[in-house]
Homo-oligomer: A and B are copies of this chain.
Amino acid sequence: MARTGRRRGGADTRGDILSAARAAFAENGYQATTIRAVAAAAGVDPALVHHYFGDKESLFAAVVELPFPPSSVAERIMDGGIEAAGENAVRLFLSVWETPASRDAIEAMLRGAFTTEHGADTLREFFETVLVSQVAPHIPHPDADLRTTLVASHLVGVAMLRYIIGFEALRRATPDDLVNLIAPRIQAYLTGEPSG
């Protein structure tokens, strides 16, 4: 958050640029954010942003890194077995949104997906490459891809209404309230019958 006015490349310059980019994408979305504005917010020359991150797309890709390796998502969700995966998925998702830095990053990704074709491609590719391919093989149903996507749709909707639009009942609920109500529905997608 501190604006140091630093102009030279230093130990924290890369981190400062990332923080400024994270805030800019979260506040203004993908399309309206410029390398120039990120550089100004970080107190560096735009050339330094290009030096560390390349173009805006690459800067965005660096910003949306999760607080854990995306490749570990399935392992984290499945580490108590498939029968605990519903609760683990909800807790993991909420933990990302309840942590300010990662919330900004994932909100930026969601805004980008909503407002630009590139952003939509980014989110779709991230989701299909990282999440569906990791999680779906654990789901004992032929429509595992659809079920995984329905899980994502519910969690994305919760994030939108709780953290972005701010619906009252969702804003007031604690993470535990949400886990108690949502996890059984997520679990039903993973292991439940179509009709149950």
**Which of B147, B158, B166, B189 lies in contact with A153, CB distance below 8 A?**
B158
Is A156's CB under 8 angstroms from B149's CB?
A: no
**Which of B145, B160, B180 lies in contact with A160, CB distance below 8 A?**
B160
A146 within 8 A of partner (CB)? yes
Bitwise, A166-196 to B at CB < 8 A (1) or not (0) is 1111101100010011101100110010111
Q: Which residue of B lies closest to A150 (CB)?
A: B181
Closest CB-CB distance, A29 to chain B, in whole Å? 7
Q: Which residue of B lies closest to A141 (CB)?
A: B181
Residues on A close to B: CB < 8 A? Answer: 29, 111, 113-115, 120, 123-124, 127-128, 132, 143, 145-150, 152-158, 160-162, 164-170, 172-173, 177, 180-182, 184-185, 188-189, 192, 194-196
